[in-house]
Amino acid sequence: MSAAAAQFARVAGQTVSTDHLIGGERVAGRSRFETLSPIDGSVLAEVARGDAEDVARAVEAAHRAWPAWAALGPHGRAERLRRLADLIDSRVEELAAVECADMAMLLRSLRARVISRGARNFRAYAELAVAYEERDWRSNGTWNRVQRMASGPAAVITPWNAPFMLSTWKTAPALAAGCTVVLKPAEWSPLTCSLLGDLALEAGIEPGVFNVVQGIGEEAGAALAAHPLIRRASFTGSTGTARRIGAATAANLVPFTAELGGKNPLLVFADADLDAAARMAARQYDDSGQVCLSGTRLLVEASVREEFLERFDAAVAEHVLGDPRREETTVSPLIHPLHLERVAGFVERARDEGQRVLRGGRRLDDGWFFEPTLIEPTSNDAEIVQSEVFGPVLTIQAFAGEEEAVALANSTRYGLSGLLYTSSAGRAERIGRAVRAGTVWVNTFLVRDLTAPFGGIGDSGIGREGGDYALDFYSDLKTLQILEGSTR
C-alpha cells in the first residue's frame, strides 16, 4: 500500500476521500487528476489517478474477498445490501450536494429521486437475490439441478452522467449475486462513487468486496478491463469505449455487458395529447440533454407539425438555464469545456452542411451552457440525425403515416429507447412493437420497473441488466445430475 497520507476534499460542505478504496483501505496512489465543478469551473478536488498497479491491487483484493462473500449466501448478502440502502437514504442530502457540485445535475432531481434510486437498486437486488431459486426436476432417471455460482470479481466502469445512480445499478446485482466489485468511476465526476465506498464499509460489507479505483479511462479503465482475474465486466458509456473494453474482455473470454448511447426517437402522432407531447419534447433539454435515454429525434406527424411546434416553443420558453442548485433552474451547465466544445462542433458542422437551425444554436457567454437547440435536417443521413450529441440539441422531422414513422424511428445504428405519443391503443401496440429499441415508453418517460430488462440494440449496447437478467449475468450456471436411487 502507498505510504502517502490519506487525502480528502471539502465539497459542498462534505468531506470526501479522493483516494482509491482497495481492500477496505484508502490508498493515495502515485499521481492525481483534477475534477472541476461545472457550476463555476473551480477545481473541486485532486483525485487519485489509478495505474495498472493500483488496479491489480484492487482486483487481487476483490479476488481474495470473493469466496467468503459468495459463501455468505443470498440472505447474508441481502442483509448488508439493505443496510447500505438505508444508509444511502439517510444521506440523500449530502450525496445530492456533492453530485450536484461535481456533475451539475439539478439538485432538486438528485434530492427527489436520483440518489434514492441508488438505494432502491440495492434494496431491489437484496430481494431478488433471496427470491432467485435454483431449478430442480427429474428426467431420464436422474435428478437435474441448475446451480448458480457467483462468477468472481466484476469490473464495473461507469460514465460521468448520474454517476452515483448508474454505479449502483451495476454494483447492486453484482454484489447480490455473490460477485465482488472493482468500480472505476468516470474522471469528470468521481466523487459520489468514493462516498459509496465509505457507505459500503459502514453497512458492514466486508473489506475487499467493494473497491473503487479512480482514474482516467485509457489508464485505470483499460487496465481493469484487461485484468486476467476479472470474471465479468459491466460498462455504461459510449459506443467507441465499449468496443475497446469488449476487445479486452474477449481476449480473456470474459462476458461483457454494455449500456451505451442512443439517438432515440420521440414519435408524435396527430391523435396524441399534443400538449403533453410538446412538454415532454421540451423536457429532453433538462440537464442539458446529457441523458442517454433522451428522445433527441422529434418525429412529428406532418399534419400537426405547426401546432406541435407552437406548443413546444411555449414549453421551451419556460426553461431556466442556470445554477443547478437553484430551485427554478431546469437546464444545468454541460459537464466540461471539452464536452461543450464537442456539442458546439456538432451544431457548427450541421450549419455548414446546410441543415436548418430553427431554434438556439449558440453557446452562452457565461458558463458552460449551450442554448436549447432545434435543427431541421435536410437529409436523414445528416450527422446531426445519425450521431449522439449528448447535449441540448434536438432534431425535428415530419412523417406521413405509420410506415414512414417506423422507418425513420429505426433508421440509425442505435436502439436504446423510444418515446411514443398517441391516444390509440392499437397504434401504441403496433408502433411500440415495431420500434427497435431496448425500452419504448408510450405517453410517459423514464418510468422503470427494476425487474424489467434494460439495455440497447445495435450501437446502444449488448446484454441486458435489470431483474434476474442481471443476476444471470453475474452468475455461472451449472447443471448437476444425480442418478436417481444411487444415493441415500
Q: Which of 69, 160, 285, 312 binds ligand NAD (CB under 6 A)?
A: 160
Selecting among 100, 179, 292, 301, the annotated active-site residue is 292
CA dist., res. 154 & res. 62, Å (int): 8
The reply on whether position 418 binds ligand NAD by CB under 6 A is no
- Residue 390 has φ and ψ, to the nearest 5°, of 60, 40
The reply on whether position 390 binds ligand NAD by CB under 6 A is yes
Q: Which of 236, 284, 395, 422 binds ligand NAD (CB under 6 A)?
A: 236
* Number of Cβ atoms within 10 Å of the Cβ of 17: 22
Q: Closer CB to ligand NAD, residue 231 or residue 305?
A: 231
Q: Which of 64, 111, 145, 244 binds ligand NAD (CB under 6 A)?
A: 244
CA dist., res. 327 & res. 475, Å (int): 43
Residue written as grid cell 453530485:
99
The reply on whether position 245 binds ligand NAD by CB under 6 A is yes
SS3 1: coil
To the nearest 10°, report the CA torsion of 190, 193, 194, 198: 170
* Start-end of H helices in 261-304: 274-283
* Number of Cβ atoms within 10 Å of the Cβ of 487: 7
CA dist., res. 210 & res. 180, Å (int): 6
**Is 353 designated active site?**
no
The residues facing 92 across adjacent strands are: none
The reply on whether position 474 binds ligand NAD by CB under 6 A is no
Give the count of residues interacting with ligand NAD (CB under 6 A). Answer: 30
- Span from 36-44, 101-109, 181-189, 366-374 in contact with ligand NAD (CB under 6 A): 181-189
Q: Closer CB to ligand NAD, residue 166 or residue 274?
A: 166
**Is 193 designated active site?**
no
The reply on whether position 296 binds ligand NAD by CB under 6 A is no
Q: Closer CB to ligand NAD, residue 189 or residue 422?
A: 189
Side-chain half-sphere exposure of 84, counting CA atoms within 13 A: 32
Report the site for ligand NAD in 99-138 (rule: CB under 6 A). Answer: none
- Span from 2-10, 159-167, 344-352, 428-436 in contact with ligand NAD (CB under 6 A): 159-167
Selecting among 60, 187, 259, 465, the annotated active-site residue is 259
- Residue 9 has φ and ψ, to the nearest 5°, of -130, 150
- Span from 18-26, 155-163, 267-275, 379-387 in contact with ligand NAD (CB under 6 A): 155-163
* Start-end of H helices in 285-336: 305-317
As annotated, the active-site residues are: 259, 292
